[in-house]
Amino acid sequence: MRFELIIGCCLALFSINAIADSHERPQQAVVLDENLWVTFYDLPSRRFRAIRTAVLTRDKAAASADLAVAANYLSVEAERASDNFQGPLQQIADQLRAMGASVDDVTLQQLDVIFGRTHWLLAQHYLEFARRARDVRQNRNTSLYLWATIHHMERALLWSNVPVTRRVQNTFEDLREIATDLRDPQTAESAYKEKPVIRAETLLRQIGDQIDRRVLLPAAASSE
């Protein structure tokens, strides 16, 4: 668990700073490592499942430890997030820490609500970085941020107890396929013509209406 957080924090600090700097110094951009990135963006999902189980079985020590890991993850993300997401992500991190200090008072319903909200914010947060990577044609980073966006959109639906329709599932699968094509120099440009980032944003806004969640991500200023 500690290893996951260390890996995640290091990846976070280098990956997004690279994209932020790339507008001025594109030659210094860092390409994300796929295996580390999957370990990082999937951390909340793993910890949230463990937290729920620990609360259900009244394992206070495990619940408190996992809540702390999840809170630290969100604090790292808040530090590198845009103004749109910095405050909301840090607020959830603080709430998770407070839960960890009083596990006896935490209910499963509270967990489901905060986990759904967390995934919803992270989906938008990563989609914003997918936009930025796309704008400077960091193809691999665009691909991996899209994968993270889809992952968290799916989890936002699941934690909100909203079934994933066949249409939405098909869109998820299409976007994953396009995101995979973005990693290959021979197929990247044709993949961009499918407008994956715009399609992901359209789907995100539709899901927001479905689960009654506010979209904090500003409307796109440019097209693919």
pLDDT given for residue 32 in this prediction: 56
d(CA 174, CA 168): 10
User: Which tokens belong to 200?
Assistant: 């992901």
pLDDT given for residue 41 in this prediction: 86
* Percent of the chain predicted with pLDDT > 90: 78
Lowest mean pLDDT among 115-119, 204-208, 218-222: 218-222
Whole-number mean pLDDT of the chain? Answer: 87
In angstroms, the Cα distances linking 28 to 24, 119, 179, 217 are: 9, 30, 23, 27
d(CA 224, CA 214): 24
Tell me: pLDDT of 69 over 60: yes
Kindly report, residue by residue over 6-21, the tens digit of the pLDDT: 445 454 444 544 444 4
pTM: 0.86
**Cβ-contact 92, 67 below 8 angstroms:** no
Tell me: pLDDT of 43 over 70: yes
Best CA proximity match to 18, nearest among 31, 29, 9: 29
